[in-house]
Amino acid sequence: MRVDHFDFVVVGGGIFGCYAALYLAGGGAKVAILEKEDRLFQKASLVNQARLHSGYHYPRSIATAAMSDEHKARFTEEHRPFVNQTFEKFYSIDRYGSFTDGPQFERFCEFLNIPCERVTEHNLFNFERLEALYRTEEHSFDPVLLGNYYRDKVENNAGITVFKKAQIQRSETIGNEWSIDLKLETFNLKLSTPTVINATYSATNAINQIFGVNELALTHEISEIAFVHSPQFGQRGLTVMDGPFGSIMPYGLSGLLSLSSVAYTHHKISFDALPRFDCQMPEIDPACRPEAPGICTECPRRPVSNATKMLAQMQQYFAEHVQFTQMFSYYTIKSKLKASHIDDGRPTEILLLRDNPKFYCLFAGKINSIYEVEKIV
Ligand SMILES: Cc1cc2nc3c(=O)[nH]c(=O)nc-3n(C[C@H](O)[C@H](O)[C@H](O)COP(=O)(O)OP(=O)(O)OC[C@H]3O[C@@H](n4cnc5c(N)ncnc54)[C@H](O)[C@@H]3O)c2cc1C
């Protein structure tokens, strides 16, 4: 069987895998990206709320808030054509049941040194439900345009080979190298490499198992991002803090608003190491298994949309004349570190789980933390 040698094998072709591959190839390395699907960027890197985090969203995790802010300027600078920086963004505190309140949120913003201006009157909002409203500075990246950009960059980089529809059958160590058996659509291949980087997000533990390294303690949720538009609200954003509330904001430069709610976005939860759900039927659809989850938006067994419930929940924060029209929804699996339940943090973890040969596990938090890989690898 043909054996191809690479300096690095990156498993997973979302934004974290693509960025890691470009960074390593930029240093002269020969890199392979192994992607399960026939296209890069079809999972969490496409289906998300597109919030370019500045820290506001994490009043209970200073670490996540600070990490978001740390990378925001660089991310914006390097992805300027794909970032919507022109909309008005509001954060607010629900009058009932919030884990934070106005004074605490203001202290938090002051600590992080992020702008937050109290707004006491506004004809778009319902102040009977809002304890406090703030005009903030938060932007939105465009996942579709980012996907096009990264696909083009990695597929035209002479140092990177992209293997799509790739299935890792098994792996073993031979001396200081990994030997990986790869099944492709029309032929099989062996890869050898001294370093593997696992950037598969919801499939993290499945890949860790194949390489015989420790699993991460994760939970997995089938999540829905609904898309809406509103002539009255236009291209603005509102996020209601902090607890089982929601958010409506521009999805990059698409002209649509993404809608999500802590109560209704997440349809099913799996506490297993692997994302195991009752909608998976490997005998009918082998492209989606707990060991190798598929593309939820394209699945006929995806959950029935909660968009109407999300809208009803969010509508309470708006003045009566502000109406939203529901368009369509995207679905994907959201995976989180179990430890995040304590403070709702979303750190990006990069762990060296084996040395010589090396195996790094890159578990992504926020999209603008793609640069964390540079600190470690
Ligand atoms: C609902 C939701 C909302 C979010 N909102 C935001 C937000 O507003 N702002 C923000 O910054 N972040 C947000 N996030 C988090 C962010 O989207 C993720 O942290 C980020 O996209 C993860 O990128 P990734 O490249 O690691 O994973 P992915 O984009 O999921 O890429 C992983 C890749 O690995 C591939 N793969 C899986 N299994 C295998 C296998 N066996 N072999 C080969 N390849 C495999 C997949 O097909 C996929 O292409 C959100 C996430 C979700 C789900």
pLDDT at 347 over 90: no
**Ligand 1, from 22, 34, 36: best to mutate by most atoms within 8 Å of Cβ?**
36
Q: State the pLDDT confidence band at 104, using cuts at 50, 70 and 90.
A: very high
**Ligand 1 centroid from CA 139, angstroms:** 19
Is residue 17 lining ligand 1, measured as CB closer than 6 Å? Answer: yes
Q: What is the pLDDT of residue 70?
A: 78
Q: Over pLDDT 90: what percentage of the chain?
A: 88
CA angle 91, 235, 68 (to 5 degrees): 45
Q: What is the pLDDT of residue 339?
A: 84
Q: What is the pLDDT of residue 343?
A: 66
Mean pLDDT for 112-134 is: 96
Contact 116, 109 (CB under 8 A): yes
Query: Atom 53, ligand 1: which residue's CA is nearest?
Result: 334
Q: For 189-211, what is each residue's pLDDT tens digit?
A: 999 999 999 999 999 999 999 99
Is residue 294 lining ligand 1, measured as CB closer than 6 Å? Answer: no
What is the rounded CA–CA span in Å between residue 210 and residue 220? 19
Q: What is the pLDDT of residue 69?
A: 73
Is residue 49 lining ligand 1, measured as CB closer than 6 Å? Answer: yes
Q: What is the CATH number of the domain that holds 113?
A: 3.50.50.60
Mean pLDDT for 218-238 is: 97
Q: For 239-264, what is each residue's pLDDT tens digit?
A: 999 888 999 999 999 999 999 999 99
CA-wise closest residue to 116 among 100, 135, 132:
135
334 pairs with which residues across the strands? 221
Beta strands across the sheet bearing 177-183: 3-5, 188-193, 177-183, 167-174
pLDDT at 342 over 70: no
**Ligand 1 centroid from CA 48, angstroms:** 8
CB atoms within 10 A of CB 194: 16
Q: What is the pLDDT of residue 242?
A: 87
pLDDT at 341 over 80: no
Using CA atoms, how far residue 326 sits from 229, 256, 310, in Å, is 7, 10, 10
Q: Over pLDDT 70: what percentage of the chain?
A: 99
What is the rounded CA–CA span in Å between residue 304 and residue 296? 12
Q: What is the pLDDT of residue 278?
A: 95
CA angle 68, 77, 197 (to 5 degrees): 60
Mean pLDDT for 295-308 is: 96
Query: Atom 37, ligand 1: which residue's CA is nearest?
Result: 200
Is residue 15 lining ligand 1, measured as CB closer than 6 Å? Answer: yes
Q: What is the mean pLDDT of the chain?
A: 95
Domain assignment of residue 51, given as a range: 3-376
Atom of ligand 1 nearest to the CA of 207: 41
**Ligand 1 centroid from CA 51, angstroms:** 14
Which residue pairs, CB below 8 angstroms and at least 24 apart, start in 341-349? 341/219, 343/58, 343/60, 343/61, 343/64, 344/58, 344/60, 344/61, 345/58, 345/60, 345/61, 345/63, 345/64, 346/58, 346/61, 346/64, 347/61, 347/63, 347/64, 347/67, 348/16, 348/67, 348/372, 349/216
**Ligand 1, from 225, 366, 368, 373: best to mutate by most atoms within 8 Å of Cβ?**
366
Number of separate domains in the chain: 1
What is the rounded CA–CA span in Å between residue 222 and residue 333? 4
Is residue 53 lining ligand 1, measured as CB closer than 6 Å? Answer: yes
What's the one-letter identity of residue 266?
H
Query: Atom 9, ligand 1: which residue's CA is nearest?
Result: 51
Q: For 34-93, what is each residue's pLDDT tens digit?
A: 999 999 999 999 999 999 998 898 888 887 787 777 788 999 999 999 999 999 999 999
Atom of ligand 1 nearest to the CA of 291: 41
Is residue 79 lining ligand 1, measured as CB closer than 6 Å? Answer: no
